[in-house]
Structure 1
Amino acid sequence: MRTGLHISRWTAFTVLAFITWSAGANPVEKEAAADPTHAIAMHGEPLYPEGFEHFHYVNPAAPKGGAIVYGATGTFDSLNPFIVRGTSALGLREHVFESLLARGYDEPFTLYGLLAESIEVAGDRSWVAFTLNPEARFSDGEPVTVDDIVYSLETLRDMGRPNYKTYYSKVERMERTGERTIKFIFSPDGDREIPLIIGLMPIIPTHVYEKRDFNAASFQIPIGSGPYVVDKVKPGNSITYRRDTGYWGIDLAVNTGQNNVDLVTYEYFRDTNASFEAFKRGIYHARPEDDPGRWTQNYNFPAVRAGKVRKEAFESGMPSGMYALVFNTRRPVFTDKRVRQALIQLFNFEWVNKNLYYGSYVRTESFFDGSELGSHDRPAGELERELLAPFPDAVTPEIMNLGWHAPEGDVEGQDRKNRARAIAQLKDSGYQIRDGVMTHIETGRPLSFEILVATPGEERLALTYSRMVKRIGVRAEVRNVDPSQYQERRSNYDFDMIFNSWFSSLSPGNEQSFYWGSAAADVPGTRNYMGVKEPAIDAMIDAMLEAETREDFVAAVRAMDRVLLSGAYMIPMFHQPEQWLALWQKVKVPEETSLYGYRSGTWWIDDKLEQ
């Protein structure tokens, strides 16, 4: 078994967190800059020193050449990945367009020079300056200039996706401080992370895109500075990238051992079943898997038995995130925490995992399971206790001492102990069983609620849970609605319970306010589906955003994790313990993997191995 960390897909999209920072009245002069450097870390120092030769998770001797095909589902109608209009083809951002800095995937959030050869940042992060690499070129041979950086920010801010406007509107002004140097000065509400976000801004050539309608979803061939160019396009069906043999950055340390394959194709299929059948026939060569039934039962086709296809599993050091059955505490039925705690007792994960998922999952017991940020099996440290001291009732003693531990269910489905605990908790909250129905003693109302779902998988799981709660007289009605109705009801909090997933990174930031903050609870369209309004959570988010050291940051995240789990706002479900990947034999992967898991850009092809 390989070990390493992972993003949930081989495309390995860069994960950005948004960390808020409050500056003084004059951020430009508030604090002097550090010396120019080769890298910048969100917290602490970069792992790799100036002059490093390559990242640890690459094979610096990987050969160049060959071809690889990836599978995708659906279709595409655009070659512009930066706008809302249309569905852009996969791979454009990763292969064609570069940023000023490149992410190092051995660290939570550190960036190294790419188009920019050096970075200079104010100690209070009120501004950042970049010096361009004099060798930087677009694929058509034109140099990358300061004007291109200015044009990129202004174009993406004004015409790009909404998230670009959110990021880049925090730039108060830009200053050209030299022929190859540009300085970004941030508004007082800028983030401590904003210098890194600017470092990851895609750079587009002015001389190309000022002549195009940037907002158009078209098939005009994109031009960037990246290691690949678009070679062939079959609209809606496939796109092929060709390695640029004249790529300007081939010798940079951040690129050593990467971008090894000459031709990279994304082939589109109608659905997951068609995609899997195509993989079995060798039409494409790498398949990440997230279906435990398929992973455990269906990878026995002839190419696997013949050794032409191999299965690999990668352990993850990334946070698990949270997939949960969520209580809407805006609804009277769930305002009592004891009711929620009782319903948590009734979910029998051990039976579900065995009978529905082939024993492939593990129970999620923290919003950041599997990483240093999680509180599970960790006693609260001194820094956490100091943060939580003003909120003595926000965390239960058990969770303060060792994190949250899920009720242990019975794999045979009996689960009598947990049912007895649930009945006792409901009795404390005013319920008793009358004629087989869990009934509120004072009002005479039965304990009942609706679980809203939109997919067959969720419906199956919800029906299973409905049968579990029915055994003590609780009625849970499962309602399957079409996706558009589901989205509308979820956005307006018009539900009792829903399933939801929250992704977690190693650098969570101000998106946490969007997830759990009190201000988000009454605003339609946020991800505070529980309706939680907890001052302790707000305070922990503030502490997280203000943290300047990794130690302080980790303490604040763990403390927030404990408060969320103590509130019993959801029934945590489960997650994959590993990242699953199937590969045809010609695809080779480095021995070491990054903190974020396997990276398709580090793979190479052995053409001697025929399919």
Structure 2
Amino acid sequence: MMPDFFKPLRAWAVLIALLLVPGFAAASPQHGIAMYGAPALPQDFVALPYVNPDAPKGGRIVLGEAGGYDSLNPFILKGSAPWGLRLHAYESLMGRSWDEPFTLYGLLAESVETGPDRDWVEFTLREEARFWDGSPVTVQDVLWSFEILGTQGHPRYRNAWAKIATAKATGPRSVRFTFNTPDRELPLILGLRPVLKKAQWDGRAFDESGMEAPIGTGPYVIAEAVPGRLLSLRRDPDYWGWHLPLNRGQHNFNEIRYEYFGDGDVVFEAFRGGAIDVYREGNAAKWETTYDFPAVRDGQIVKAEIPHQRPSGISGLVMNTRRPIFADWRVRDAMLHAFNFEFINATLNGASQPRIASYFSNSVLGMRPGPAEGRVRDLLAPFADSLLPGALEGYALPSSDGRSSNRRNLRRAFAQLQAAGWTVADDGVLRDAQGTPFTFEILLRQGATETQQIVDIFAEHLKRLGIGVRITAVDSAQYTERTDAYDFDMTFYSRALSLSPGNEQRLYWGREGVSTPGTRNWMGMDSPAAEAMIDAMLTADSHEDFVAATRALDRVLTTGRYVIPIWYAPASRLAHRAWLRYPDTIPAYGDWMGFLPDIWWSEKE
């Protein structure tokens, strides 16, 4: 019998067939919308396939966070807001099913309609949709929210707003957006925009950080907020949307409480001591060796591994190409050769973790081994002169024999540094033609113990090349401020990537991020090839073309040598109190957004 967590695969054969249908577009108002093909769930669906529709309500779950916050507005660049606030307290026109690559079903909106080429989208609001204060959600709230977020909100909202030619009410509860740019994903992107109350901000600055939260519509309201200490979200018994099929079996806890601690090690000790209820373990070796304390042995704590079907994403040390020292790809290539992954993985993980091979590895979207072929090669060919070595002919990350010496790769690293104009002087220091030593800073967040261990080993290996490294650890607020301003040489970087990448790729890798603060383009890449591949992804009429464009983008990103990748986990490791439960059927995205605590429940009370 097939385990429950592989049940989504049985439906994916049907889903993939639908994905192959080119040019699908809704001909009339629909209950949902998919990036390709039709939504998997019918209009009369009862609940999402991965929830327990009869999950009991009540109880409390306490989650631990390292760091703190100084703002309750999660939609602007200024300040640092609790990430859980955006997830649990605010809603969009449509909600996502995490068992499909990218499909939305009606939430604040009861229906969605698109043009034949998806050059416009129209949403019709539910008559019963309400804000926390009981006032109805109106078309004016939607129009204002989309504009204010697109002009004064976080940079992640601006790209979509720039593609809207007109935004207007078409009825008392309907609103239409017409686009000025071909982009098949835009209707879904707008469906996920949060809707806020316009009247709250009349005559006031929306983009100023502060401890007043925007008024939302979601199932949880703020019960208590103490910066640096806690955030308590209370389940709203008067929430307008409890009757929706999309919400059945979700939002089961009476309270979601976030406790804040100085660093990750303290969070773990708080979990051991019973102060928090769930702990995500990122270290495979610790998962096997450190969970032998009494609460685990006597069954009060359960160790769970949650599988997933999503891409590996990218995690590792990112090099800021805005800094002259990392502007030359040969220097970045030298860093990749000097980083002894096999030795570090063995030291910290017992060699148990697979390495990230590319940004979309571990999925159908990842680049294939060897030379680029077929449609992928056709997409990349116009940029052949600007692509870095490996993009067309094939590329694989450097690997070592696992010994600390790493001699072969260090020789290759030194050769690349010499080619870039660096030589070792008589004093053993690597210098350029002007005699300037090769030194740089690695910026870390305080309390990131495992990252600190990785960096310490890497820095020791760089000394053999005559390179000096300064390791600087700062608190969460400083770290956010510096990374938003790209004020670093190298730092730890992690980007989760979905089964349906789209417009967010511009925020991650687009040229606007070279100079615009607050984007995810921490490496500062400016690649016409990457821009073109993203365009091809957004305008693809078939799943085959979409996959080819994504694989081509993966080649550009990986061979750009911007990030020194570490490992990924094919499954999440969650240790939790035994009275916490989650459904037997795991969504395709696994332990991602929409999983914990959304579909969990308590059997304690």
Same fold, TM exceeding 0.5?
yes
Q: 1:309 aligns with which of 259, 281, 301?
A: 301
- Cα distance in 2 for partners of 1:234, 1:428 equals 54
Q: 1:344 aligns with which of 336, 358, 379?
A: 336
1:120 Cα deviation (Å)?
A: 0.9
- Cα distance in 1 for partners of 2:213, 2:439 equals 52
1:498 Cα deviation (Å)?
A: 5.1
| Contact 2:252/2:599 (8 A) holds in 1 | yes
Amino acid across the alignment from 1:363: R
| Contact 1:367/1:374 (8 A) holds in 2 | yes
| Contact 1:97/1:202 (8 A) holds in 2 | yes
1:368 Cα deviation (Å)?
A: 1.4
Partner of 2:401: 410
Q: 1:453 aligns with which of 430, 433, 443?
A: 443
Amino acid across the alignment from 1:604: W
Query: Structure 1 residues 331, 592: closer, same or farther in 2, change over 3 A?
Result: same
1:450 Cα deviation (Å)?
A: 3.4
Partner of 1:15: none
Where in structure 2 are the equivalents of 1:565-604 lying within 5 Å? 565-598=558-591, 599=595, 600-604=597-601
Q: 1:556 aligns with which of 540, 549, 557?
A: 549
- Cα distance in 2 for partners of 1:230, 1:495 equals 35
| Contact 2:62/2:258 (8 A) holds in 1 | yes
1:360 Cα deviation (Å)?
A: 4.9
- Cα distance in 2 for partners of 1:215, 1:518 equals 24
- Cα distance in 1 for partners of 2:519, 2:371 equals 31
Amino acid across the alignment from 1:59: N
Q: 2:603 aligns with which of 583, 588, 606?
A: 606
Query: Structure 1 residues 199, 464: closer, same or farther in 2, change over 3 A?
Result: same
- Cα distance in 1 for partners of 2:66, 2:330 equals 44
1:183 Cα deviation (Å)?
A: 1.8
- Cα distance in 2 for partners of 1:159, 1:382 equals 43
1:406 Cα deviation (Å)?
A: 2.8
| Contact 2:424/2:466 (8 A) holds in 1 | no
- Cα distance in 1 for partners of 2:106, 2:438 equals 57
| Contact 2:228/2:261 (8 A) holds in 1 | no
State the secondary structure of the residue aligned to 2:598. Answer: helix
Query: Structure 1 residues 92, 404: closer, same or farther in 2, change over 3 A?
Result: same
1:148 Cα deviation (Å)?
A: 3.4
1:410 Cα deviation (Å)?
A: 2.3
Q: Would you say 1:243 and 2:235 are equivalent positions?
A: yes
Amino acid across the alignment from 2:581: K
Amino acid across the alignment from 1:507: S
State the secondary structure of the residue aligned to 1:571. Answer: strand
Query: Structure 1 residues 479, 221: closer, same or farther in 2, change over 3 A?
Result: closer
Partner of 2:86: 93
Partner of 2:13: none
Where in structure 2 are the equivalents of 1:338-487 lying within 5 Å? 340-341=332-333, 343-377=335-369, 380-392=372-384, 404-419=395-410, 448-454=438-444, 460-469=453-462, 471=464, 474-481=465-472, 483=474
Query: Structure 1 residues 180, 462: closer, same or farther in 2, change over 3 A?
Result: closer
TM-score normalized by structure 2?
Answer: 0.80
TM-score normalized by structure 1?
Answer: 0.79
- Cα distance in 2 for partners of 1:80, 1:523 equals 20
Where in structure 2 are the equivalents of 1:83-482 lying within 5 Å? 83=76, 87-89=80-82, 91-157=84-150, 160-164=153-157, 167-168=160-161, 170-186=163-179, 188-189=180-181, 191-205=183-197, 223-232=215-224, 237-291=229-283, 294-326=286-318, 340-341=332-333, 343-377=335-369, 380-392=372-384, 404-419=395-410, 448-454=438-444, 460-469=453-462, 471=464, 474-481=465-472
- Cα distance in 1 for partners of 2:183, 2:326 equals 36
Measured against aligned partners, the alpha-carbon deviations of 1:399-421 in whole angstroms (never above 9, x if no partner) come to 657x6433332234344554565
State the secondary structure of the residue aligned to 1:125. Answer: coil
Flag structure 1 segments of 5+ consecutive residues without an equivalent.
6-30
Partner of 2:534: 541
| Contact 1:68/1:264 (8 A) holds in 2 | yes
Measured against aligned partners, the alpha-carbon deviations of 1:35-81 in whole angstroms (never above 9, x if no partner) come to 11111223333222322222222112222232222223444555544
- Cα distance in 1 for partners of 2:603, 2:520 equals 45
Measured against aligned partners, the alpha-carbon deviations of 1:404-451 in whole angstroms (never above 9, x if no partner) come to 4333322343445545655777788899999896989x9797994535
1:293 Cα deviation (Å)?
A: 6.1
1:199 Cα deviation (Å)?
A: 1.5
Flag structure 2 segments of 5+ consecutive residues without an equivalent.
8-23
1:146 Cα deviation (Å)?
A: 2.7
- Cα distance in 2 for partners of 1:431, 1:376 equals 34
- Cα distance in 1 for partners of 2:436, 2:198 equals 65
| Contact 1:449/1:496 (8 A) holds in 2 | no
Query: Structure 1 residues 594, 427: closer, same or farther in 2, change over 3 A?
Result: same
**Count of residue pairs brought into register by the alignment:** 578
- Cα distance in 1 for partners of 2:233, 2:328 equals 56
Q: 2:60 aligns with which of 63, 67, 92?
A: 67
1:318 Cα deviation (Å)?
A: 2.4
Percent identity, aligned pairs only, is 44
| Contact 2:70/2:211 (8 A) holds in 1 | yes
1:603 Cα deviation (Å)?
A: 0.6
| Contact 2:196/2:214 (8 A) holds in 1 | no
Instruction: Indicate the larger mover: 46-55 or 145-154.
Output: 145-154
- Cα distance in 2 for partners of 1:577, 1:80 equals 33
| Contact 2:67/2:263 (8 A) holds in 1 | yes
- Cα distance in 2 for partners of 1:74, 1:507 equals 31
Query: Structure 1 residues 488, 44: closer, same or farther in 2, change over 3 A?
Result: same
| Contact 1:85/1:216 (8 A) holds in 2 | yes
**Greater C-alpha radius of gyration:** 1
Amino acid across the alignment from 1:103: R
Amino acid across the alignment from 2:260: Y
| Contact 1:102/1:114 (8 A) holds in 2 | yes
| Contact 1:451/1:496 (8 A) holds in 2 | yes
Amino acid across the alignment from 1:134: E
Partner of 2:36: 43
| Contact 2:443/2:488 (8 A) holds in 1 | no
Instruction: Indicate the larger mover: 256-265 or 211-220.
Output: 211-220
| Contact 1:366/1:376 (8 A) holds in 2 | no
Query: Structure 1 residues 382, 289: closer, same or farther in 2, change over 3 A?
Result: same
1:102 Cα deviation (Å)?
A: 0.5
Amino acid across the alignment from 2:112: I
| Contact 2:29/2:112 (8 A) holds in 1 | yes
State the secondary structure of the residue aligned to 2:467. Answer: strand
- Cα distance in 1 for partners of 2:420, 2:266 equals 51
Instruction: Indicate the larger mover: 65-74 or 495-504.
Output: 495-504
| Contact 1:2/1:313 (8 A) holds in 2 | no
| RMSD of Structure 2 on Structure 1 (CA) | 4.3
